[in-house]
Chains A and B, each alone.
Chain A
């Protein structure tokens, strides 16, 4: 008889959600994480849309270590000298309070603690060496020469899934499916944060930018408020970094911080922590076979993250995939069937949720987000229109139509290509 019903590798959002789902239904669950405390190696931009948490942790909004709830969302372009943003503030955010900034080294240990309270055995500081596989079935994990066995192994090992890759359960990572996220935590007093960003106690702001101030590079950035700090960073597709080849990733984040619209927002703040993490951005094409005899793949390890240039989400996809895998495991246990056929229920469940639906709906989004003009020509064009219309220079005014055609001429934009771009945005975004 195996040691456990299920072993979960990785106590991030996906792994802990799965462990809670299974343990609360009486399964004998081992949750291991290579960090001690669990979560201490995890890092993300920091906005958690927690809708799905209510299914497993109904009191999460009052109990979890959350930073600020999002009541103001901004999206924008930065050019060398300008910032053009849409500033969205709505009572809908206030009334629901589902979007929160979090710091993973605080939030993830809380979720792992909830898994323990649900009855899972949580062991931090364990790096699994490899999967134990027998007769084409995953039968457990190997750690320091020992084999720990289970009917099911849930692989929630994160964006760099060494175990899955080494066991041949998914292909090695490639440039096109990854971005490098670089982040800094900047300490600022709650008073300063609330004054600077027009917030009240507990409310927060989340901004995402397309950086048009870095030449040809297609790079995005984020800026979020925590209780007494700012989380800011850049998201650089690996392909872009390779093409560029002359700027260090650790300098790109500084170029964002030094932008004339960003620098004043962090003035007087001190860097409390620097960090970096990969981000899975390969979309549906990067999603591996999600299950097999004795295993399922969850969260970032399965490529479950979503980005369309306006939003960048992963934690919600991780949590929901964890719950779906957990429910599948509970069903498998009730039938005493851990075969691929039984665990195929996991994919069926995901197909009915936003996890796989979103990845399928936006399968061609890279035709928009990968278009270099989104980071060069279009921000400049917008800036040009705003300068001509909003800046009084004592010159005769022009119609928008004329501004556009002049700017297009200056930038050598062909009408057909531009219309094709807008058609792509309209169809795929």
Chain B
């Protein structure tokens, strides 16, 4: 099985270093009973490390899955600004 890290490496991004288009509320994530985001996110932006939810927006492909997957109200979701973010070569 090809590692997801390697597959994410095939995607071109123009990362916005100044602005995180998605943010999570750590206090809510800490009490979350399922952490479904970890399974659902196709870009491995959500991971569990020693039971603590870690989030990075840099690998995000802006699909919106997490905005629906999270039913705890932790995810604040916006599109990136000014063409930043994922830039598909094929799509």
In the complex, what residues of B have CB within 8 A of residue A160's CB? 63-64, 67
- Cross-interface CB contact of B89 among A238, A244, A247, A273, cutoff 8 Å: A273
- Check: B28 CB closer than 8 A to any chain A CB: no
- Bound-state CA distance A238–B66 (Å) is 10
In the complex, what residues of A have CB within 8 A of residue B63's CB? 160, 180, 276-278
Q: A41-B85, A41-B86, A238-B69 are in contact. Are A34 and B79 (CB under 8 A)?
A: yes
- Bound-state CA distance A277–B67 (Å) is 13
- Bound-state CA distance A241–B42 (Å) is 11
- Bound-state CA distance A36–B79 (Å) is 14
- Bound-state CA distance A42–B62 (Å) is 10
Contact B88 A105 (CB under 8 A): yes
Contact A241 B39 (CB under 8 A): yes
Q: Mark B36-76, 1 if CB is under 8 A from A, else 0.
A: 10111111100000000000000001111101110000000
Q: A251-B1, A275-B61 are in contact. Are A105 and B67 (CB under 8 A)?
A: no
Contact B39 A246 (CB under 8 A): yes
Q: On chain A, which size bracket covers the interface?
A: 35 or more
Contact A105 B83 (CB under 8 A): no
Contact A238 B82 (CB under 8 A): no
Contact B88 A175 (CB under 8 A): no
With an 8 Å Cβ cutoff, the count of chain B residues facing the other chain is: 39
- Check: A184 CB closer than 8 A to any chain B CB: yes
- Bound-state CA distance A178–B40 (Å) is 12
In the complex, what residues of A have CB within 8 A of residue B85's CB? 41
Contact A103 B91 (CB under 8 A): yes
> In the complex, what's the smallest C-beta–C-beta distance from A280 to chain B, in angstroms?
11
- Check: A258 CB closer than 8 A to any chain B CB: yes
- Check: A108 CB closer than 8 A to any chain B CB: yes
In the complex, what residues of A have CB within 8 A of residue B83's CB? 34-36, 40, 124-126
Q: Mark A87-108, 1 if CB is under 8 A from B, else 0.
A: 0000000000000000111101
- Cross-interface CB contact of A272 among B44, B80, B90, cutoff 8 Å: B90
- Bound-state CA distance A36–B80 (Å) is 12
In the complex, what residues of B have CB within 8 A of residue A105's CB? 88-91
Give the residue name and chain of the A residue nearest to B4 (CB).
A250
In the complex, what residues of A have CB within 8 A of residue B42's CB? 180, 182, 249-250, 276
Q: Mark A281-303, 1 if CB is under 8 A from B, else 0.
A: 00000000000000000000000
Contact B65 A103 (CB under 8 A): no
- Check: B11 CB closer than 8 A to any chain A CB: yes
- Check: B81 CB closer than 8 A to any chain A CB: yes
Q: A174-B68, A245-B36 are in contact. Are A41 and B90 (CB under 8 A)?
A: no
List 12 A–B pairs whose Cβ atoms lie within 8 Å, in order of A's numbering.
A35-B83, A41-B88, A105-B88, A105-B90, A106-B91, A126-B82, A159-B64, A162-B78, A173-B67, A248-B39, A250-B43, A276-B65
What residues make up the interface of A, taking CB atoms closer than 8 Å to B?
Answer: 34-36, 39-44, 103-106, 108, 124-127, 159-160, 162, 173-175, 178, 180, 182, 184-185, 229, 231, 238, 241-242, 244-251, 254-255, 258, 271-278
What residues make up the interface of B, taking CB atoms closer than 8 Å to A?
Answer: 1-2, 4, 6-8, 10-11, 34, 36, 38-44, 61-65, 67-69, 77-83, 85-91
Q: A245-B34, A278-B65 are in contact. List 15 more A-B contacts (CB 8 A).
A: A41-B62, A41-B87, A41-B88, A103-B90, A104-B88, A105-B88, A108-B91, A162-B79, A180-B63, A238-B65, A238-B69, A247-B39, A274-B11, A277-B63, A278-B68
